[in-house]
Amino acid sequence: METGSSQNSGTSAPTTASGAEPVWTGLPSGLLRMRRLLLVVWLGLAALAAGVLPGVFAGPPWAAFALLPLALLVWGWVLLGRNWRSWRYAERADDLLISRGVLWREETVVPYGRMQLVEVTSGPVERHFGLASVQLHTAAAATDATIPGLDPAEAERLRDRLTELGEARSAGL
């Protein structure tokens, strides 16, 4: 069934696993730009509404409410940056590694042989920014392996490579 590479055929797992240090790839900056733009647009509108409406109806001092969304905006700006930096993935010889999260960290390992389906999705906003996300499905629904905000070319390359490796190592249920 398995036609895995020969150099990793040893069963003493920890030594081989730590021996091959994964080569991590981060996400392109397009995703960060898109998320920050959306943040600015929505919170900017909210700040405008929170400033103008009380300012007109209850007197100018009440326009200070606009500071609330603005503070959120600054906070969100920093948060998005940290979150974006935390995303990374690595294609190893036999499995795909995805690591993400700042406060709630999560690292997922999916052996290529377990992949049932590779999905490339791109919504209208993502398409405008030239982004696409790759999602891996295994037979377990709990497997949460998504890489968002990739370059479409990179997403397609990843999809083709994952499909190819998945076919070669296919193991099913």
Binding site for other proteins (CB under 8 A): 1-2, 4, 8-9, 11, 13-14, 16-18, 94-95, 103-111, 113-114, 138-145, 169, 171-173
Shortest approach of other proteins to residue 119 CB, angstroms?
15
The residue among 60 and 101 lying less far from other proteins, judged by its C-beta, is: 101
The residue among 3 and 57 lying less far from other proteins, judged by its C-beta, is: 3
Shortest approach of other proteins to residue 93 CB, angstroms?
10
Shortest approach of other proteins to residue 87 CB, angstroms?
15
The residue among 16 and 29 lying less far from other proteins, judged by its C-beta, is: 16
Taken in order 54, 56, 59, 65, the sign of the CA dihedral is positive
The residue among 16 and 121 lying less far from other proteins, judged by its C-beta, is: 16
The residue among 4 and 55 lying less far from other proteins, judged by its C-beta, is: 4
Torsion of CA 105, 156, 152, 23, to 10 degrees: 40
Residue whose tokens read 């099913």: 172
DSSP 90: E
In whole angstroms, give the CA distance from residue 95 to residue 19. 15
Shortest approach of other proteins to residue 24 CB, angstroms?
14
In whole angstroms, give the CA distance from residue 132 to residue 47. 30
Residue 72 vs residues 23, 51, 63, 124, 169: alpha-carbon distances, Å: 35, 14, 16, 26, 47
Shortest approach of other proteins to residue 90 CB, angstroms?
11
In whole angstroms, give the CA distance from residue 103 to residue 86. 10
